[in-house]
Amino acid sequence: MKKFCCFFFCLVLSLVPVSAVSRTLIVCGDTVMINAQYDGVFISGDFDFHWKDQLISSHPLDSVQVHDMIIEANGNIISSCKELNRVISEVSITKNFIDVKVLRNQIEHKARLYLYFDENDNTFKTGFYIKDHINGVGTLTYYDPLHHSYGALGHEITEKSTGKRAEVHLGHILLGKVTSVVPSVINQPGEKISRSTDMILGNILINNEFGLFGKTNVELKGRELEIALQHQIHPGKAVLLTVIDSTNLMEVDIEITKVNLQSSQGIKGIEFKITDQRLIEKTGGIVQGMSGSPILQNGRIIGAVTHMIPSSPTRGYGVFIEWMLYYSDQI
């Protein structure tokens, strides 16, 4: 039994990223506004409309579909709504479709975007809502002064209508300012209401289940703290850093209730509950926009907030800092 236990302990240590050992980071907690571009034009929904005394309420079988990503139209690469509208405007009013390529569930398909010319306003209608970017609110976890990189959010940006990862390729994060908070109640998450400042903090190079990662445009100042690896974390008192009023950083008391040691990457390594009555009175617990709030224990950075438990808004999960660092070290 002793040999088995020793082998397992060594195995766990061997899976820890070498780049995460003996590291210091600038701990953050600032609210950030996320502005990212899709890898094409996303069809977010559809609508009914009248055309030549007909109600157009459905689409042909070979038509594009809601949640498709249009990446090419009439042989032109499409990366914005403006580019797609330009291609449509060049089509003869006698033609009722354009050939497109779309990404559907990450697989490329050929399809048609059907057009309905409206003589009243001299434009084409398609019956689809489209967009080329996505916005959101989150929290900056850390700044790495060695690599001039950052980690934020603790989980991926998702498309609200699908719940799936938003396929983005360009974007940036800006310093945000919290103007108000909608409190969380049981089974109804609250949210930070924030607006953007003019201060761009960095670009977005990676969007995955462990957060947003990119290079910073400015050298961020703050407390430089050592990190703790998962085997150094224990149940008990800890704090998280977040903003719920303007840009004022708040240190919130929490209790780590469980540490789930992981031999492979996962986003729910830390289980915790909010014990700070100041935050509970103002927010009801964890709210949307707090994702990425850094978690500290014994003066070291151990992870970041990722999720709230809907049935108990004061309880949530955190990701180990080593998994976030693994990705910010790749850029």
With beta carbons less than 8 A apart as the criterion, state whether 53 and 199 touch.
no
Out of 30, 68, 144, 155, pick the active-site residue: 155
- Beta strands 149-152 and 24-27: pairing type? unpaired
Out of 276, 293, 328, 329, pick the active-site residue: 276
CA distances from 3 to 9, 11, 157, 235, 291 (A): 10, 12, 43, 27, 40
The length of the chain, given as a count of residues: 331
Which amino acid does the sequence have at 149?
S
> Chain-centre distance of CA 156, in angstroms?
4
Look up residue 174 and give its DSSP letter. E
Per the annotation, the verdict on 293 as an active-site residue is no
Out of 149, 194, 291, 293, pick the active-site residue: 291
CA distances from 145 to 23, 150, 190, 221 (A): 11, 9, 33, 9
Per the annotation, the verdict on 291 as an active-site residue is yes
CA distances from 216 to 48, 146, 176 (A): 44, 11, 15
CA within 13 Å, CB half, 32: 33
- Residues annotated as catalytic (active site), given as ranges: 155, 276, 291
